[in-house]
Amino acid sequence: MTAKARQPGPAADPAEPARVGGLLYIAASLIAAVLTVADPGYANHDGRVLAMSSFGMICGFGFWLFARRMPRWIAYAMPPFGGFTLCFGMVLDGNIVIGGEVLLTWPLLAAYMMPNWVILCTFASVLASFVPVALWILGPAGVTPSITMTVTLLITVLVLGTLRRRNARLVDALHRQATTDGLTGLPNRRAFTEALAGLDPGSWPVSLALIDVDHFKRINDTAGHAAGDEVLRNLGDLLARRIRGDDLVARLGGEEFVAVFTRTEGDEALAAADALRRDVRDSSRDWTHPITISIGVAGPPIAATDQDALLAAADAALYRAKAEGRDRALAAGAATVGPCPS
């Protein structure tokens, strides 16, 4: 189990590209309407262009105002539909100038904010619409603008696709930095919180083991903080290698770690925690500074979604484990597992 990272690149929320697409519809419609009114020679059929502009304005405001309620498929269909609409406007006016340049906005939108298949569909739909229109209106002279538009769109999509991938890598690196403990390489408290909150019901029941290094301050005071850091790194590496693939271990801070056992409760969770305790005690005998750990375990009937209650119960059990002599695992409201107090 790992913390769920935000996936960079395509917008996870379709409302974001829907709002941007709505603004582009409005901008394209305004440009066509203003140029038609301001320049009598801009359009061959002013009424048709103004009617198409009005249609575009209505669509744009609809996309912008109702973006939050819009189904994902409508948001994804917007860029290809926008290119088709502009080409249809050219057919009505008999002029490829009307809105031709604005065709670039739809691949731009799709390339940066939507999945790859939407990019390809938009690119194909724009070319499939524009090239026949250009050849139909201009005849052989339409070959040049068709080639120009094809090359321009292709370069634009490739450049923005490259930028999106670089941005995705940067976002992913920043997320890893924000959710990874710099000393041990384990997930940190934030990652632990996100992972626990993101568990699906298939992982229930969930038990939590709060782990603390016994007498850690003594190591720092006698051997120095570098020795303490070495102990924490060794412990983090050992815990990461010992837990099951579906479980999680994280460093909460200082000498405190946490393990999350999925599909585990009661005696099974306590046994898993005690196995970690014994493994740390035995394996650390070969370290420069051997250690023992104390563990407090909490789980059902506390719900996995109640993180504060789980941590509080595990912390109380950990406190009791230390009070009873350390180097032991103790479940909240249950018996201790570990060496008998001396």
Sequence-ordered list of residues with C-beta below 8 angstroms from that of 205, at least 6 positions apart, any chain:
263, 264, 265, 299, 300, 304
How do residues 297-317 score in pLDDT, each as one tens digit?
Answer: 999 988 767 889 999 999 999
Q: At a CB cut-off of 8 Å and minimum separation 6, what does 6 contact?
A: 12, 171, 175
| Span 293-297, average pLDDT | 98
- Please report the pLDDT score of residue 341 as a whole number: 42
Cα angle 162-166-172, degrees, rounded to a multiple of 5: 145
98-125: average pLDDT = 77
Percent of the chain with pLDDT over 70: 91
At 81, is the pLDDT very low, low, confident or very high (cuts 50, 70, 90)? confident
pLDDT in tens, 137-179: 989 988 998 898 888 888 888 888 888 889 989 999 999 999 9
Class of domain 189-337: alpha beta
Exposed / middle / buried, residue 272 (Cβ in 10 Å: 0-12, 13-18, 19+): buried
Please say if the pLDDT value at position 9 is more than 60: no
Which pLDDT does position 100 carry in this prediction?
A: 62
- Which of the pair, 303 or 335, is modelled with greater confidence? 303
Between these two residues, 13 and 330, which has the higher pLDDT value?
330
Q: Which two tokens stand for residue 253?
A: 């801070």
| pLDDT exceeds cutoff 90 at 185 | yes
Neighbours of 225 (CB within 10 A): 10
Q: pLDDT (tens digit, 9 = 90+) per residue, 200-228?
A: 877 889 999 999 999 999 999 999 999 99
Q: What is the 3-state secondary structure (H, E, C) of the chain?
A: CCCCCCCCCCCCCCHHHHHHHHHHHHHHHHHHHHHHHHCCCCCCCHHHHHHHHHHHHHHHHHHHHCHHHCCHHHHHHHHHHHHHHHHHHHHHHCCCCCCCHHHHHHHHHHHHHCCHHHHHHHHHHHHHHHHHHHHHHHHHHHHHHHHHHHHHHHHHHHHHHHHHHHHHHHHHHHHHHHHECCCCCCECHHHHHHHHHCCCHHHCCEEEEEEEECCHHHHHHHHCHHHHHHHHHHHHHHHHHHCCCCCEEEEEECCEEEEEEECCCHHHHHHHHHHHHHHHHHHHHHCCCCCCEEEEEECCCCCCCCHHHHHHHHHHHHHHHHHCCCCCEEECCCCEECCCCC
Mean pLDDT of 240-267: 94
Convert 182-191 to b/e letters by CB count within 10 Å (16 or more is b). eebebbbeeb
* pLDDT tens-place string over residues 19-55: 888 888 898 889 889 988 998 888 889 999 899 999 9
Distance of CA 63 to the CA centre of its chain: 25
**Residue 232, C-beta contacts closer than 8 angstroms, at least 6 positions apart:** 183, 184, 213, 251, 255
Confidence check: pLDDT of 8 > 60: no
Average pLDDT rounded to a whole number, residues 91-100: 77
Comparing 78 with 226, which gets the higher pLDDT? 226
What gap in Å lies between CA 294 and CA 296, rounded to an integer? 7
Kindly tell me if the per-residue pLDDT of 14 is higher than 90. no
- Token pair in block for residue 60: 């744009």
Indicate the pLDDT class of residue 188, thresholds 50, 70 and 90: very high
Q: Where do the structural domains in the chain lie, given as residue ranges?
A: 15-178, 189-337
Q: How high is the pLDDT of residue 328?
A: 97
What are the distances in angstroms from CA 338 to CA 18, 78, 120, 215, 276? 59, 63, 61, 17, 11
Percent of the chain with pLDDT over 90: 48
Q: Please state whether the predicted TM-score (pTM) of the whole model is above 0.75.
A: no
Q: Strands 248-253 and 256-262: what pairing?
A: antiparallel
The catalytic residue positions are 255
Mean pLDDT of the residues in the chain: 87
